[in-house]
Amino acid sequence: DGGITQSPKYLFRKEGQNVTLSCEQNLNHDAMYWYRQDPGQGLRLIYYSQIVNDFQKGDIAEGYSVSREKKESFPLTVTSAQKNPTAFYLCASTTPGEGNTIYFGEGSWLTVV
Amino acid sequence: GESVGLHLPTLSVQEGDNSIINCAYSNSASDYFIWYKQESGKGPQFIIDIRSNMDKRQGQRVTVLLNKTVKHLSLQIAATQPGDSAVYFCAENAGGTSYGKLTFGQGTILTVHP
């Protein structure tokens, strides 16, 4: 099936640890995105990449890092510098032919313990 | 634009009623708007979109209205069903080289009572 796969679904992090969330898409989309969602709130853009080997900061990039070595993959690392990382993380993708509609994965829950 | 708060607006309706969910957007340069539905613990699902050169677009049981004069967007759901219960988000995009880079509203919780 075509789509966006995020893993793991649930992740627990100890304070001071870096963790990496995986996002893979087989839609052949050029652009990929990471959003953060806090309970009862909307989505905020962390990072995005419109082409392989290039990415841009979004509105809340501090404490996060990404890489885009392959078209289908856009992993997000939540570093120890992110002071409040507990949230729901959503990966998304699109391509110009989709008319700006972006499609989301099922999300990953990250909790700091 | 909408501010991010701890308490989302809520809308409660009876099954079979029509629902109207509203959204104000902030960027007059936005040329593309999308409505998403998000069920608990899941990613947002695309419902319907509209471009700024239109003022109305209809889908299956849903209609989106765009009023650029007052920067207002609405989603109408006909004959609302319990399965429509979810959080609904509007999103705007300025287009051009920022394709896919969406700014989301805070969302509205829709509850449909049988």
pLDDT tens, residue by residue, B54-68: 999 999 999 999 999
Cα B78–Cα B82–Cα B84 angle in degrees, nearest 5: 55
Task: State whether A41 and B4 contact (CB < 8 Å).
Answer: yes
Q: Does A45 touch chain B (CB under 8 A)?
A: yes
- Are the CB atoms for B87 and B54 separated by under 8 Å? no
Contact map slice: B 78-107 vs A, CB within 8 A = 89, 93, 95, 99-107
Min distance A66 CA to chain B CA atoms (Å): 16
Q: Quick one: pLDDT at residue B8? A: 79
Q: What is the interface size between A and B, counted as CB pairs within 8 Å?
A: 70
Highest average pLDDT, of A66-80, B22-36, B100-114, comes from: A66-80
| Residue A47 pLDDT > 90 | yes
Which burial class, exposed, middle or buried, applies to A63 when counting CB atoms under 10 A from its CB (0-12, 13-18, 19+)?
Answer: middle
Q: For residue B96, what pLDDT is reported?
A: 60
Q: What is the largest CA-CA distance in chain B?
A: 45
Contacts of B8 in chain A (CB under 8 A): 40-41
- The nearest alpha carbon in chain A to B39 belongs to A106
Strand runs (DSSP E) across chain A, as ranges? 4-7, 10-13, 19-25, 31-37, 43-51, 54-57, 64-66, 76-78, 87-94, 103-104, 108-112
Pairwise CA distance, residues B52 & A81, whole Å: 40
Question: At A14, phi and psi to the nearest 5?
Answer: -85, 150
Q: Report the C-alpha gap between A27 and A73 in whole angstroms.
A: 11
Q: What is the structure's pLDDT at B2? A: 40
